[in-house]
Structures are given as structure tokens and as C-alpha cells.
Structure 1
Amino acid sequence: MLLVYENRNTGVSAEWKKPVHVPPHLHEAIEVVYVTDGEIELGVGQELFHMDEGDFAVVFPNVIHHYQVFGEKENKVIFLYLEPTLFPSYYRELQIYSPKNPVVKKEQVHPDVVNAIKYLTGITEGDPRMIQAYAQMILAHVFTTMPMMDKSAVGSDDLIYNAVEYVAKNFRENISLEKMAYELCVSKYVLSRMFAKTFHCNFSKYVNGVRLNYAVAALENTMDSITNICLDCGFESQRTFNRVFKERYKITPREYRKRIIM
């Protein structure tokens, strides 16, 4: 079955829709799932989890997942996508860990989680501080009530999954396509073609994208110097950092931080 990579990095986005069969896919966003009517099956890795009305689930960034729908009754689900940079204090944990069981049954779902999901689903424009507060409320309940495990134990030997996991754990280091291919026991040419076909970019651009997400979280939520942020997220020089940052955001890191402070 084709694995699809979705680019979801717009802060917060929500969909309230009738679910259908969705093939295996992954993305950088945290995906929150809340069933309002009917039932669906959520597949994570090689496991399938049943969800009924009122159940809540969360899928962490870059975890392969899919949906199946059985039966003829009406099924409606809220899908909420949260960019990891909204959670600077949890950023590294989001890259490394995944819930052992992503589903919380209706009886155990805290009312604060339901209220936060409905608030974030209903907004068109809102105070960024309120949006972040509600998003963090959801994640706080996730980390305090759901046991975690290393993403490597989710149960997939898929090359795409292993590549995503490798970058998530090592992007702050000096990594290369050759070193990554060696450690994953594949040809660097196979790995290069996988990035081009799945992520529609080369290895360097993908890694820099992960580094930029980490850098934006630091710019928005810490007072670290831009030089320290540059080095901490894995760029070899501030010149490279500034160039790559400006290519994506059309402004420099310093200008970005000034806009946040204003």
C-alpha cells in the first residue's frame, strides 16, 4: 500500500468530517482525533485500535498511521493538526516517543481535553496565546495520562519510517546521507530516491526543514541567542542558517523574532 507524506506545518488546522478509508501516511504535525458520531478504526504502525463515539486519540509526528471505516452507520470525526513548534518544552519528546496506546476511551477522556478540541476546531481567528494554551492543555493530559514508548518500537521496518525516526533523533548532529545509509544498512542511492519520491525533496532539504521547525520553536519561546539556536539545531554556520531560514520564511531569524516580540 502506498505511503503518503503530508506537509502539515501551519500552526493549527482542523477538519470536522465524515471519515473514509485513509491509506498509511505520516506528517510532522501532531494529529488529534475525536469521534463525535459512530466509530472508526485507527491503525498505528502494525496495530489497529477501535474508536467509538466520544473516544479521543493522538498520533505523534512522523508516525505511520491510517484509518478504516466499517459498517453503514453515520460516522463523524474531528481531526485536529497541531504543529510541534507550539510545544517547545515537549519538542524533543515528540520526536522520540509515541503513546503505547494512542486511544483514550470516552470514560477516561478529561473534559478539559474535549473543551480544548472544540475550541480549536471552532476558531477561524483567535488570540495566539489562547490557541497555544488550549493546544498545550491537550498535550499536557497526553503526557500525564498516556504511557510512552520509543518510536522504534511502534512496529514498522519500513525504510521511510526508519529514515524519519533517524533524522528526528539526530538532526542536531552533523549527519549525512552516507552516514545515515550506512547505519540503516541501505544504499545511499536507494535512500536518496526514497526522499525524492516520498518527501519531494532531497535529503539536505528534509533535514534542514526539521532543523528549522526546532529553530522556530526556540525563537518563539526562548531568549537564547540566534547563534546558539543556529548551532543547537544542527546548522554548521549562522550564514547557512540565515540563508535556509530566509528561503522558507522570506525574512531572517532576527526579523522573525522581532515580529514575535512586537
Structure 2
Amino acid sequence: MIPFYETTDNALRTFYTTKFNFPSHLHSHLELLYVKTGEIIVTIHGETKRLREGDFAVIFPNVIHSYNSETSDNQIESRILIAICGINLTGEFLKKVTRYYPGNPFITSGNLHENVIYAMEQLEIERRDGQDLSACAALLQLILARCIPVLDLIKNNDMPSYDLTGKIVTFVSEYFQEPLTLSILAEHLNVSKYHLSRIFSTKLNTSFNKYLNNIRLDYAITLMQLTDYSLTQISMDSGFESQRTFNRAFLEVFHLSPSEYRQNTKRTKS
């Protein structure tokens, strides 16, 4: 399961996942992560931490972050609860969420208020039961009320400027739906494509094509779950040059075809 991107206007998405691996990315939503069991390695704005059972992470909008559960040395199967929330649900906390970022985005289990766990689980229930946005907003604001005092907020204008890796992530996140090649990216950033290839390999631990496909598949998954668009339309909207390319990339990552995935999703909902 992979998260969605800023081009979606859905107010709330929550899900449980057991293995959660995704390279550096950013979006315009507030993202919350709670480790129910097991552990996961999370990187937020360059700071990496291994989160264990009961730990919590808060990712403000437009902050680069990534996830890695494959390097976990814990034998217990991880169960991670993710909530991705539109900032329109943040109420009185809107200015803090949009004008600041957490200096300390991680909260250990011993410092996490019990209200946060309750509210996260209730958000998941609301999502399954039809998503009463008023109730979701109240639950999200309860989480923020308990978390913000320990996040050490820093003004956005004091945030260090992005290095080349950050600029890559930002550009791809904005233009993944358009025709995009390594040469186009290199020209935009005024660096050689060979240098960019090294950045993808050493900093993002992937290739340009795999990274771009992950971003596009992320968006496609969201459309498949939230709309009745045809698979052809979804492949085009996600930036794939053809449905054949989309099918091949999807099968490589999820080990089943897009149509099989959609059928499985429909059966799960019913």
C-alpha cells in the first residue's frame, strides 16, 4: 500500500498496512503514522528514526518524507495505521500546520497521549463507516491538540532550503502526470543526467524510472479506490504513456494486474 499525492482533493484517507516502503515524497496533506505493532524506519525532512510499537509521527504538508520497513530487524509483523488528512479539517490549527513544521516530528510511546491513539482508531472507523467529515475534523483536531505542544514547531521561513535531492522530489511530485524523462529533469535542474542518476542511486536508493513509476502508481491506486474511472483513463491521468506500460509497471510492483487489483478492492468493500 502506498500513499497518495497532492493532486487528489479527498479530505481523508486512512488505512492499515503491514509492509510500508516508499521513497522520498511530499504532498499538501497532513500525514499521521501510528505503529500498532512491529516497527518501521521513517525519514522526515532528513531526520531518520526507527519507530517501534506505540510510537507516532506527524508529517506537515509539503515536508519530504519516506518509509522503509524492509530493513526492520523485528520478527513481529508490523501493523501501521496511516491517516492522510486534508488541511481543511484542521480548524483552528490551520495556521500552525501551514506556517510551521515540526522540529521534532516523532513522539515515542511513553510521551504519546492516549487520546491520540483513540482518535486515530476512530478516524479509521469513520472512514469505513462513510466518513462524517465533522466527526473526522473533531478527531483530527484532538490529535493536533495533544501533539503540537511536543512537536517543537519552527517557522517555515526558517526551514533550510532543499538540496538537489529535495528539488528532485519536489519537481517530480508536481509534474509526474506529464511526460517526464531524466533529460527533462536534468535540464530543469541545470545538472547532467548522469549526476542525477547517481543521486537517485545513492540518495533515493532507486532508479529514475522506478521512482517515477512508484509516484504514478501511487496516484493510480488512489483513483482506482475512489473513482469509477476506466483503467485506460486512470493510466493516462497518472502519467503513463500507454495502458500497456501502466499494466507492466503495476504487475511488477503489486504482482497482479490493475483489473485484478480493482476486483479485489471491490470484493473487500462488499
TM > 0.5: yes
1:196-234 CA-partner distances (Å, limit 9, x unpaired):
xx899xxxxxxxxxxxxxxxxxxxxxxxxxxxxxxxxxx
Whether 2:162 is the aligned partner of 1:156: answer: yes
Q: Secondary structure at the match of 2:147?
A: helix
TM-score by length of 1: 0.57
The residue number in structure 2 matching 1:93 is 96
Task: Please list, as runs of the form range in 1=range in 2, the aligned pairs for 1:79-158 lying within 5 A after superposition.
Answer: 79-123=82-126, 124=128, 125-151=130-156, 153=159, 156-157=162-163, 158=166
In 2, distance between residues paired with 1:76 and 1:154? 33
In 2, distance between residues paired with 1:35 and 1:115? 13
- The count of corresponding residues between Structure 1 and Structure 2 is 169
The residue number in structure 2 matching 1:190 is 188
Q: Secondary structure at the match of 1:27?
A: coil
Change (3 A) 1:8 1:34: farther
In 1, distance between residues paired with 2:27 and 2:114? 27
The residue number in structure 2 matching 1:246 is none
Structure 2 portions without partners, runs of 5+: 173-186, 190-211, 217-270
C-alpha deviation, 1:139, in angstroms: 1.3
In 2, distance between residues paired with 1:159 and 1:119? 36
Change (3 A) 1:190 1:92: farther
Q: Which amino acid aligns with 1:139?
A: L
Task: Please list, as runs of the form range in 1=range in 2, the aligned pairs for 1:142-221 lying within 5 A after superposition.
Answer: 142-151=147-156, 153=159, 156-157=162-163, 158-159=166-167, 190=188
C-alpha deviation, 1:42, in angstroms: 0.7
In 2, distance between residues paired with 1:19 and 1:7? 24
The residue number in structure 2 matching 1:23 is 23
In 2, distance between residues paired with 1:131 and 1:52? 26
C-alpha deviation, 1:159, in angstroms: 2.3
The residue number in structure 1 matching 2:201 is none
In 2, distance between residues paired with 1:77 and 1:13? 14
Change (3 A) 1:43 1:155: farther
In 1, distance between residues paired with 2:159 and 2:170? 11
In 2, distance between residues paired with 1:20 and 1:145? 26
C-alpha deviation, 1:8, in angstroms: 4.4
Change (3 A) 1:44 1:111: same
- 80-89 or 28-37, larger mean C-alpha shift: 80-89
In 2, distance between residues paired with 1:163 and 1:140? 33
Residues 57, 105 of structure 2: 8 Å contact kept: yes
The residue number in structure 2 matching 1:38 is 38
The residue number in structure 2 matching 1:13 is 13
TM-score by length of 2: 0.55
Q: Secondary structure at the match of 2:26?
A: strand
Residues 8, 27 of structure 1: 8 Å contact kept: no
- 83-92 or 115-124, larger mean C-alpha shift: 83-92
In 2, distance between residues paired with 1:71 and 1:54? 17
- Percent identity among equivalent residues? 28
Residues 62, 161 of structure 1: 8 Å contact kept: no
The residue number in structure 2 matching 1:75 is 78
Residues 26, 63 of structure 2: 8 Å contact kept: yes
- 7-16 or 47-56, larger mean C-alpha shift: 7-16
Q: Which amino acid aligns with 1:190?
A: H
